Structure 1
C-alpha cells in the first residue's frame, strides 16, 4: 500500500509519523447522504463488514472511541465493560467534533486532537485490512487492524451487535 503526503489529513500524518503502511481510498461524497459508512462501503465496493465507523461514547464521564463495522451497531453495554466502566451512552456530536478535530461523518480514530481510549471490535482482525475514516467525508484509510490498534493504543473487544 502506498502512503500519501500531499493534502494529508491529521490521520494520514499520524500514520506516516509512526511508519505505518496505509492506502488512501477516496470517493465522491453525496452531501445528502447521512449513512456515511454505508456510503463508503457502496462507493468503494467493499463488504460493509470490512468498513468500520468511528463513534464516541461517554463511559462513566470519560470519552471513549469505539470502532465498529458499519454493517452493525455499537453495543453500549459491551463498550462499557471493555472500557472497565459501568455505563456508556453516545457522546454529544458537538463534543465529539471538538475533542477529535473532525466533523461527524468524517471522524477518524487516528490523528485526533485529544488522545482518547480506543476499543476496536473483535471482528476487525478477521480481515487482512479494514477501512476507517481518513478524516473527512469521502475519504477512507485502509490498513491492518493490528496497525490501527498500534496507532491508537487501542484494544480489541466484542463491542458490535447486528
Structure 2
C-alpha cells in the first residue's frame, strides 16, 4: 500500500473544484517553487507560453481574474477598452487573498470563495496542454485551453499589447 501526502488545504479546495468540474488532470506537487511562469516552465519542462498565469486585477470596484500566457504581460489599457471598463489595475496582495483565498504566486483559476469574472488569453489556445497553479506556489495541474475556458466561465480575449 502506498502512502500519499495530503494536499495543502488551499490545494485540496482547488482539487475538489477541479473534480466537480470534471477535470481529469491531477494536481502535481513540485519540489521547487513555481511562483513565476519561468520557474513553472523550468520545473515542468515546457514552454513558458504554456503556463497559464492567474493574475488578479481590480476593475471598476471588483476583482478580475486574467488567465494569461506566461510569455505575455497584460496590456491593462487595451484590455480595459476591449471590456468597456474604466480601468484595470493590479490588485494588492490583500485584494488577491480576499478574492481568491490564495496568495500571489499560487492563484488557481478555480477554488475561490466565489466565482470571479475571468478573461482567458487567446494565446493559450496555441498549446495542446497548459499548466495552471493549484492554490500554492508548489502545486499545478494540467489542462487544455477549452477546458480552462469552460471551468472558469471565462471570456476569451487578446490580453497583450
TM above 0.5, yes or no, is yes
What is the aligned partner in structure 2 of residue 117 from structure 1? Answer: 117
Instruction: Please state if 1:23 is matched with 2:30.
Output: no
Contact kept? 1:28, 1:138, Cα under 8 Å: yes
Q: State which of 11, 15, 35 in structure 2 corresponds to 1:12.
A: 15
Q: Whose strand fraction is larger, Structure 1's or Structure 2's?
A: 1
Please list every run of 5 or more consecutive structure 2 residues that lacks an aligned counterpart in the other structure.
Answer: none
1:71 partnered with 2:71: yes
Report the alpha carbon displacement of residue 138 of structure 1 after superposing the two structures with TM. Answer: 1.4
Q: Secondary structure at the match of 2:85?
A: coil
Relative to the length of structure 2, the TM-score reads: 0.87
CA contact (8 A) 1:25 1:44 kept: no
Give secondary structure in 2 for the equivalent of 1:123.
helix
Distance 1:153 1:81 in 2: 20
Match of 1:96 in 2: 96
**Structure 1 consecutive aligned stretches of length 4 or more whose deviation exceeds 4 Å:** none
Q: What is the root-mean-square deviation in Å for CA atoms of aligned residues?
A: 1.9
1:146, distance to aligned residue in structure 2 (A): 1.0
| 2:57 match: secondary structure | strand
What is the rounded CA distance, in whole Å, between the counterparts of 2:94 and 2:57 in structure 1?
A: 12
Paired positions, count = 154
Unaligned stretches of 5+ residues in structure 1: none
Does structure 2 retain, via aligned residues, the 8 Å contact 1:119–1:156?
yes
SS in 2 for 1:113: coil
TM normalised by structure 1 equals 0.86
**More helix by percentage:** 2
1:69 & 1:57 partners in 2: Cα distance? 16
Q: Is the 1:38–1:70 contact (alpha carbons within 8 Å) kept by the matching residues of 2? A: yes
Aligned twin of 2:131: 131
> Do the aligned residues in 2 keep the contact of 1:133 with 1:141 (CA within 8 Å)?
yes
Structure 2: distance between partners of 1:136 and 1:114 = 18
* Preserved CA contact (<8 Å) 1:109 1:133: yes
